[in-house]
Structure 1
């Protein structure tokens, strides 16, 4: 006897505030997406843009790290390929897309000792 009356009251209240209730229920999802965008997606996009720019600007003498973890010095740059010296007189050709880090010829900033 009490259950049908309570159910009927809840249905009537939800129908009156249907628009507000749906906005309140969606608001946390929107807030989570906004937080993820500013904390994860946006910084990753910036990092990818700088990496793409540094890969396009790679030149002879730069030190590169490949996605496989190989470190070497660039000896020749072609359109899609880069020739890298990984040991004295050992040169390999790698695809530019596999480069994960580029250190310019002059090196990075000096350490603050």
Structure 2
């Protein structure tokens, strides 16, 4: 029994370290991104994962229409939104 514990304990410790350093932070990031994307509303200033800056013009369940500075309208998947800006600079 004692040798079993000595053999298994390092594996348990490595799994715990792996969980707290890699898995848990990734889950927190995914949760915060999903919350940000579900909280989008018309008029928000956003940046896409491709670096496009725009203003949300309309929203559906899976897509978002962005209005560019020149008045053009582009349609993106909701998952393409990287961040919501507080104000345009």
Name the TM tier (shorter chain): 0.7 to 0.9
Is 92-101 or 67-76 further displaced after alignment?
67-76
Which consecutive residues of structure 1, in runs of 5 or more, have no partner in the other structure? 1-18, 109-113
Residue 69 of structure 1 aligns to a residue whose secondary structure is coil
Give the number of aligned pairs.
Answer: 87
Higher helix share: 1
The higher radius of gyration belongs to 1
CA RMSD of aligned residues (A): 1.8
More RCO (CA 8 Å, sep 6+): 2
| TM-score for both structures, normalised by structure 1 | 0.65
| TM-score for both structures, normalised by structure 2 | 0.79
Give the corresponding residue for 2:39: 57
Moved over 4 A (4+): none
Which consecutive residues of structure 2, in runs of 5 or more, have no partner in the other structure? none
